[in-house]
Structure 1
Amino acid sequence: MISIRNFQHILLACAAVMLAACSGGQNDELMIYIDKVKARPGGRIEPLPQIKPYETFRYDAGDIRSPFVFNRPKAKGRSDGPRPVQNRSKEYLEQFPLDTLDMVGILSRGDSQYALLKTSDGLVHRVSVGNYIGQNEGRVLFISESSIDLEELIADGVGSFYKRQASIGLGE
Protein backbone atom coordinates (compact mmCIF):
# COMPACT_ATOMS: atom_id res chain seq x y z
CA MET A 1 0.00 0.00 0.00
CA ILE A 2 1.16 3.50 -0.83
CA SER A 3 1.44 5.82 2.10
CA ILE A 4 0.62 9.49 1.98
CA ARG A 5 4.25 10.37 2.27
CA ASN A 6 5.15 8.22 -0.76
CA PHE A 7 2.21 9.70 -2.69
CA GLN A 8 3.53 13.20 -2.09
CA HIS A 9 6.97 12.20 -3.37
CA ILE A 10 5.48 10.68 -6.50
CA LEU A 11 3.35 13.79 -7.14
CA LEU A 12 6.35 16.07 -6.71
CA ALA A 13 8.41 13.99 -9.15
CA CYS A 14 5.62 14.13 -11.79
CA ALA A 15 5.39 17.93 -11.48
CA ALA A 16 9.16 18.27 -11.91
CA VAL A 17 9.11 16.11 -15.04
CA MET A 18 6.27 18.16 -16.57
CA LEU A 19 8.04 21.44 -15.93
CA ALA A 20 11.26 20.12 -17.41
CA ALA A 21 9.38 19.09 -20.55
CA CYS A 22 8.11 22.67 -21.08
CA SER A 23 11.57 24.23 -21.03
CA GLY A 24 13.02 22.46 -24.03
CA GLY A 25 15.25 24.37 -26.45
CA GLN A 26 12.35 25.27 -28.76
CA ASN A 27 12.46 29.03 -28.18
CA ASP A 28 15.75 29.61 -29.99
CA GLU A 29 13.90 31.19 -32.95
CA LEU A 30 12.14 33.57 -30.61
CA MET A 31 15.42 34.69 -29.08
CA ILE A 32 16.88 35.36 -32.55
CA TYR A 33 13.83 37.47 -33.56
CA ILE A 34 14.05 39.54 -30.37
CA ASP A 35 17.74 40.24 -31.03
CA LYS A 36 16.93 41.40 -34.60
CA VAL A 37 14.22 43.79 -33.39
CA LYS A 38 16.52 45.26 -30.76
CA ALA A 39 19.25 45.79 -33.38
CA ARG A 40 17.01 47.91 -35.66
CA PRO A 41 17.42 51.67 -35.49
CA GLY A 42 14.76 53.39 -33.40
CA GLY A 43 11.99 55.40 -35.04
CA ARG A 44 11.73 59.17 -34.76
CA ILE A 45 8.93 60.48 -32.58
CA GLU A 46 7.59 63.84 -33.70
CA PRO A 47 7.62 66.54 -31.06
CA LEU A 48 4.37 67.70 -29.50
CA PRO A 49 2.75 70.68 -31.20
CA GLN A 50 3.05 74.06 -29.53
CA ILE A 51 -0.09 74.88 -27.57
CA LYS A 52 -1.29 78.47 -27.75
CA PRO A 53 -2.43 79.88 -24.43
CA TYR A 54 -6.19 80.44 -24.20
CA GLU A 55 -7.24 84.05 -24.63
CA THR A 56 -10.34 84.91 -22.64
CA PHE A 57 -13.12 86.71 -24.45
CA ARG A 58 -14.09 90.04 -22.99
CA TYR A 59 -17.78 90.83 -23.53
CA ASP A 60 -18.16 94.60 -23.67
CA ALA A 61 -21.83 94.78 -24.63
CA GLY A 62 -23.11 93.87 -21.16
CA ASP A 63 -23.85 97.49 -20.27
CA ILE A 64 -25.79 98.22 -23.43
CA ARG A 65 -29.60 98.32 -23.31
CA SER A 66 -31.30 95.01 -24.11
CA PRO A 67 -33.48 95.16 -27.22
CA PHE A 68 -35.95 92.79 -25.58
CA VAL A 69 -36.74 94.97 -22.56
CA PHE A 70 -38.88 98.06 -22.90
CA ASN A 71 -37.11 100.75 -20.89
CA ARG A 72 -39.46 103.67 -20.76
CA PRO A 73 -38.23 106.38 -18.43
CA LYS A 74 -40.33 106.37 -15.32
CA ALA A 75 -42.58 109.35 -15.09
CA LYS A 76 -42.63 110.86 -11.68
CA GLY A 77 -46.03 111.12 -10.12
CA ARG A 78 -47.38 114.44 -9.08
CA SER A 79 -46.81 115.13 -5.43
CA ASP A 80 -49.55 117.74 -5.22
CA GLY A 81 -52.42 115.34 -6.10
CA PRO A 82 -54.59 113.33 -3.73
CA ARG A 83 -52.87 110.69 -1.63
CA PRO A 84 -54.19 107.86 0.57
CA VAL A 85 -54.08 108.44 4.30
CA GLN A 86 -51.00 106.55 5.48
CA ASN A 87 -51.47 106.13 9.24
CA ARG A 88 -55.08 104.95 9.11
CA SER A 89 -56.04 101.44 10.17
CA LYS A 90 -57.95 99.53 7.50
CA GLU A 91 -61.63 98.88 8.06
CA TYR A 92 -63.19 95.45 7.61
CA LEU A 93 -65.09 96.26 4.41
CA GLU A 94 -61.91 97.44 2.64
CA GLN A 95 -60.95 93.85 1.90
CA PHE A 96 -63.90 93.42 -0.47
CA PRO A 97 -64.09 94.78 -4.03
CA LEU A 98 -66.97 97.22 -4.52
CA ASP A 99 -68.76 94.97 -6.99
CA THR A 100 -69.12 92.27 -4.30
CA LEU A 101 -70.87 94.63 -1.86
CA ASP A 102 -74.67 94.96 -2.08
CA MET A 103 -76.73 97.66 -0.40
CA VAL A 104 -79.66 95.94 1.32
CA GLY A 105 -81.17 98.84 3.27
CA ILE A 106 -80.67 101.85 5.53
CA LEU A 107 -81.09 102.55 9.23
CA SER A 108 -81.82 105.92 10.79
CA ARG A 109 -81.17 106.68 14.42
CA GLY A 110 -81.84 110.28 15.38
CA ASP A 111 -80.04 112.44 12.84
CA SER A 112 -77.56 109.64 11.97
CA GLN A 113 -78.12 107.52 8.90
CA TYR A 114 -76.47 104.15 8.27
CA ALA A 115 -76.38 101.99 5.16
CA LEU A 116 -76.55 98.22 5.38
CA LEU A 117 -74.12 96.40 3.10
CA LYS A 118 -74.13 92.66 2.44
CA THR A 119 -70.72 91.12 1.66
CA SER A 120 -70.00 88.15 -0.59
CA ASP A 121 -69.80 85.89 2.46
CA GLY A 122 -73.42 86.72 3.35
CA LEU A 123 -72.83 88.99 6.36
CA VAL A 124 -74.54 92.37 6.69
CA HIS A 125 -72.48 95.34 7.90
CA ARG A 126 -73.40 98.89 8.87
CA VAL A 127 -71.55 101.88 7.38
CA SER A 128 -71.91 105.60 7.89
CA VAL A 129 -70.58 108.73 6.20
CA GLY A 130 -66.79 108.81 6.53
CA ASN A 131 -66.28 105.03 6.62
CA TYR A 132 -64.01 103.39 4.05
CA ILE A 133 -65.19 100.51 1.86
CA GLY A 134 -63.77 98.70 -1.16
CA GLN A 135 -60.18 98.04 -2.11
CA ASN A 136 -59.44 101.49 -3.57
CA GLU A 137 -59.66 103.69 -0.47
CA GLY A 138 -63.39 104.25 -1.09
CA ARG A 139 -64.67 106.86 1.41
CA VAL A 140 -68.45 107.11 1.94
CA LEU A 141 -69.57 110.68 1.14
CA PHE A 142 -73.37 110.49 1.21
CA ILE A 143 -76.05 107.96 2.10
CA SER A 144 -79.54 108.25 0.61
CA GLU A 145 -82.50 105.88 0.72
CA SER A 146 -81.55 104.36 -2.63
CA SER A 147 -77.74 104.54 -2.86
CA ILE A 148 -74.38 105.14 -1.24
CA ASP A 149 -72.11 107.70 -2.92
CA LEU A 150 -68.40 107.34 -2.38
CA GLU A 151 -65.09 108.59 -3.68
CA GLU A 152 -62.20 106.23 -4.50
CA LEU A 153 -58.50 106.94 -4.94
CA ILE A 154 -57.19 105.11 -7.99
CA ALA A 155 -53.46 104.67 -8.62
CA ASP A 156 -52.43 105.76 -12.13
CA GLY A 157 -49.37 103.47 -12.25
CA VAL A 158 -46.69 106.18 -12.11
CA GLY A 159 -46.97 107.11 -8.45
CA SER A 160 -49.96 109.47 -8.58
CA PHE A 161 -53.58 109.00 -7.62
CA TYR A 162 -56.80 110.42 -8.98
CA LYS A 163 -60.28 110.56 -7.48
CA ARG A 164 -63.14 108.59 -8.97
CA GLN A 165 -66.79 108.83 -7.96
CA ALA A 166 -68.68 105.57 -7.41
CA SER A 167 -72.00 104.53 -5.98
CA ILE A 168 -73.71 101.40 -4.74
CA GLY A 169 -77.44 101.26 -5.38
CA LEU A 170 -80.11 99.55 -3.31
CA GLY A 171 -80.73 96.04 -4.63
CA GLU A 172 -77.94 96.16 -7.25
Structure 2
Amino acid sequence: MTKLKGLTFLIAGCVLLLGCSGDKSYNDLQNYMQEIKARPVGEIEPLPTFRSHKTFRYGAIAMRSPFDAPLLAGSAESVAGRSTVEPPSENRKREYLESFNFAALSMVGTLSRTGQMWSLINDGSGGIHRVTVGNYLGKNYGRITSISNAKVDVIEIVPDGKGNWVERPRTLGLNEKD
Protein backbone atom coordinates (compact mmCIF):
# COMPACT_ATOMS: atom_id res chain seq x y z
CA MET A 1 0.00 0.00 0.00
CA THR A 2 2.83 2.42 0.76
CA LYS A 3 4.41 1.57 -2.60
CA LEU A 4 1.15 2.46 -4.33
CA LYS A 5 0.94 5.81 -2.53
CA GLY A 6 4.54 6.61 -3.34
CA LEU A 7 3.97 5.71 -7.00
CA THR A 8 0.83 7.90 -7.11
CA PHE A 9 2.77 10.90 -5.75
CA LEU A 10 5.56 10.31 -8.24
CA ILE A 11 3.17 10.23 -11.19
CA ALA A 12 1.32 13.36 -9.94
CA GLY A 13 4.62 15.20 -9.57
CA CYS A 14 5.71 14.28 -13.09
CA VAL A 15 2.38 15.44 -14.54
CA LEU A 16 2.71 18.79 -12.76
CA LEU A 17 6.26 19.26 -14.01
CA LEU A 18 5.20 18.48 -17.56
CA GLY A 19 2.40 21.07 -17.29
CA CYS A 20 4.91 23.75 -16.41
CA SER A 21 7.28 22.94 -19.26
CA GLY A 22 4.93 24.09 -22.01
CA ASP A 23 5.56 26.84 -24.58
CA LYS A 24 8.30 29.19 -23.28
CA SER A 25 8.04 31.80 -26.01
CA TYR A 26 6.06 34.44 -24.04
CA ASN A 27 5.24 36.12 -27.32
CA ASP A 28 2.48 38.32 -25.84
CA LEU A 29 4.81 39.71 -23.17
CA GLN A 30 7.61 40.35 -25.67
CA ASN A 31 5.19 42.12 -28.03
CA TYR A 32 3.93 44.36 -25.20
CA MET A 33 7.47 45.31 -24.16
CA GLN A 34 8.38 46.18 -27.78
CA GLU A 35 5.25 48.33 -28.03
CA ILE A 36 6.14 50.24 -24.87
CA LYS A 37 9.74 50.81 -26.05
CA ALA A 38 8.49 52.04 -29.44
CA ARG A 39 6.43 54.86 -27.92
CA PRO A 40 7.93 58.35 -28.17
CA VAL A 41 10.02 59.42 -25.19
CA GLY A 42 8.44 62.20 -23.07
CA GLU A 43 10.18 65.11 -21.41
CA ILE A 44 10.25 65.80 -17.71
CA GLU A 45 9.02 69.26 -16.82
CA PRO A 46 11.66 71.49 -15.26
CA LEU A 47 11.41 72.26 -11.55
CA PRO A 48 9.40 75.39 -10.79
CA THR A 49 11.37 78.46 -9.81
CA PHE A 50 11.28 79.43 -6.15
CA ARG A 51 9.73 82.80 -5.41
CA SER A 52 10.58 84.24 -2.04
CA HIS A 53 7.73 85.83 -0.13
CA LYS A 54 7.84 89.29 1.32
CA THR A 55 8.52 89.38 5.03
CA PHE A 56 5.96 90.82 7.38
CA ARG A 57 6.99 92.89 10.35
CA TYR A 58 4.40 93.00 13.13
CA GLY A 59 3.87 96.64 14.08
CA ALA A 60 1.15 96.40 16.73
CA ILE A 61 3.36 95.21 19.57
CA ALA A 62 2.48 98.20 21.78
CA MET A 63 -1.27 97.81 21.22
CA ARG A 64 -3.64 95.88 23.47
CA SER A 65 -3.45 92.12 23.01
CA PRO A 66 -6.63 90.71 21.47
CA PHE A 67 -6.68 88.21 24.33
CA ASP A 68 -6.87 90.92 27.01
CA ALA A 69 -10.19 92.38 28.08
CA PRO A 70 -10.94 95.72 26.36
CA LEU A 71 -10.85 98.91 28.36
CA LEU A 72 -14.20 99.97 29.72
CA ALA A 73 -15.18 103.61 29.73
CA GLY A 74 -15.64 103.94 33.47
CA SER A 75 -15.48 107.66 34.06
CA ALA A 76 -16.98 110.66 32.33
CA GLU A 77 -13.51 112.06 31.71
CA SER A 78 -12.37 109.06 29.70
CA VAL A 79 -15.63 109.06 27.72
CA ALA A 80 -15.15 112.71 26.84
CA GLY A 81 -11.60 111.94 25.68
CA ARG A 82 -9.80 113.91 28.39
CA SER A 83 -6.89 112.21 30.05
CA THR A 84 -6.26 112.29 33.76
CA VAL A 85 -3.08 110.22 33.37
CA GLU A 86 0.17 111.60 32.09
CA PRO A 87 1.73 109.65 29.22
CA PRO A 88 4.53 107.33 30.30
CA SER A 89 7.99 108.80 30.37
CA GLU A 90 10.18 107.64 27.50
CA ASN A 91 13.30 108.95 29.28
CA ARG A 92 13.03 106.49 32.16
CA LYS A 93 15.40 103.51 31.90
CA ARG A 94 13.29 100.41 31.23
CA GLU A 95 13.57 97.51 33.66
CA TYR A 96 14.26 93.93 32.53
CA LEU A 97 10.73 92.59 33.19
CA GLU A 98 9.25 95.32 30.97
CA SER A 99 10.39 93.35 27.93
CA PHE A 100 7.86 90.57 28.68
CA ASN A 101 4.10 90.49 28.07
CA PHE A 102 2.10 90.68 31.27
CA ALA A 103 0.33 87.39 30.42
CA ALA A 104 3.69 85.57 30.32
CA LEU A 105 4.61 86.64 33.86
CA SER A 106 3.55 84.73 36.96
CA MET A 107 4.08 85.15 40.68
CA VAL A 108 5.79 82.13 42.26
CA GLY A 109 6.50 83.31 45.79
CA THR A 110 7.36 86.09 48.23
CA LEU A 111 10.25 87.07 50.46
CA SER A 112 10.34 89.55 53.32
CA ARG A 113 13.22 91.01 55.25
CA THR A 114 13.20 93.82 57.78
CA GLY A 115 9.68 94.82 56.80
CA GLN A 116 10.44 94.92 53.07
CA MET A 117 8.21 92.59 50.98
CA TRP A 118 9.60 91.14 47.75
CA SER A 119 7.76 89.10 45.15
CA LEU A 120 9.34 86.40 42.99
CA ILE A 121 8.23 86.66 39.37
CA ASN A 122 8.72 83.94 36.74
CA ASP A 123 9.32 85.56 33.34
CA GLY A 124 8.01 82.54 31.42
CA SER A 125 11.40 81.67 29.93
CA GLY A 126 12.92 80.08 33.01
CA GLY A 127 14.09 83.16 34.92
CA ILE A 128 12.92 84.08 38.43
CA HIS A 129 13.22 87.77 39.37
CA ARG A 130 12.82 89.60 42.69
CA VAL A 131 10.66 92.75 42.55
CA THR A 132 9.15 95.13 45.07
CA VAL A 133 6.66 98.00 45.17
CA GLY A 134 7.66 100.63 42.61
CA ASN A 135 9.30 98.24 40.15
CA TYR A 136 7.96 98.02 36.60
CA LEU A 137 6.91 94.94 34.63
CA GLY A 138 5.02 94.15 31.43
CA LYS A 139 5.06 96.00 28.13
CA ASN A 140 2.34 98.51 29.13
CA TYR A 141 4.38 100.49 31.69
CA GLY A 142 3.00 98.41 34.59
CA ARG A 143 4.14 99.68 38.02
CA ILE A 144 3.79 97.46 41.09
CA THR A 145 1.58 99.18 43.68
CA SER A 146 1.28 96.49 46.35
CA ILE A 147 2.52 93.01 47.20
CA SER A 148 0.86 90.43 49.44
CA ASN A 149 1.54 86.74 50.05
CA ALA A 150 -1.04 85.79 47.40
CA LYS A 151 -0.87 88.50 44.74
CA VAL A 152 0.93 91.43 43.15
CA ASP A 153 -1.16 94.48 42.21
CA VAL A 154 0.00 96.40 39.15
CA ILE A 155 -1.26 99.60 37.49
CA GLU A 156 -0.61 99.74 33.75
CA ILE A 157 -0.76 102.87 31.61
CA VAL A 158 -2.37 102.04 28.27
CA PRO A 159 -3.69 104.12 25.38
CA ASP A 160 -7.46 104.54 25.33
CA GLY A 161 -7.70 104.60 21.53
CA LYS A 162 -8.46 108.33 21.42
CA GLY A 163 -4.93 109.62 21.84
CA ASN A 164 -5.02 109.68 25.64
CA TRP A 165 -3.70 107.39 28.36
CA VAL A 166 -5.66 105.59 31.08
CA GLU A 167 -4.67 103.47 34.06
CA ARG A 168 -5.64 99.81 34.06
CA PRO A 169 -5.34 97.71 37.23
CA ARG A 170 -3.92 94.20 36.80
CA THR A 171 -3.15 91.44 39.28
CA LEU A 172 -0.61 88.62 39.26
CA GLY A 173 -1.89 85.82 41.47
CA LEU A 174 0.34 83.28 43.18
CA ASN A 175 1.03 80.38 40.85
CA GLU A 176 1.98 77.41 43.00
CA LYS A 177 2.67 75.07 40.05
CA ASP A 178 5.98 76.79 39.06
- C-alpha distance in 2, partners of 1:165/1:156? 14
Give the counterpart of 2:115 among 111, 114, 117: 111
- C-alpha distance in 1, partners of 2:172/2:128? 15
CA contact (8 A) 1:105 1:116 kept: yes
Give the counterpart of 2:87 among 83, 87, 95: 83
**Superposed displacement of residue 95, structure 1:** 0.7
- Cα-to-partner distance string for 1:20-65 (whole Å, 9 max, x where unaligned): xxxxxxxxxxxxxxxxxxxxxxxxxxxxxxxxxxxxxxxxxxxxxx
The answer as to 2:143 corresponding to 1:143 is no
Secondary structure at 1:108's aligned position in 2? strand
Gaps of 5+ in 1: 1-76
Q: Which amino acid aligns with 2:140?
A: N
Gaps of 5+ in 2: 1-80
Instruction: Report the identity percentage.
Output: 44
Q: Which of the two has higher C-alpha Rg? A: 1
- C-alpha distance in 2, partners of 1:157/1:95? 22
RMSD in angstroms over aligned alpha carbons? 1.8
CA contact (8 A) 2:83 2:165 kept: no
CA contact (8 A) 2:136 2:142 kept: yes
The answer as to 2:113 corresponding to 1:100 is no
**Equivalent residues, number:** 97
Task: Indicate the residue corresponding to 1:129 in structure 2.
Answer: 133
What's the TM-score once normalised by structure 2's chain length? 0.51
**Superposed displacement of residue 109, structure 1:** 1.1
What's the TM-score once normalised by structure 1's chain length? 0.53
Which of structure 1's runs of 4+ aligned residues deviate more than 2 A? 77-82
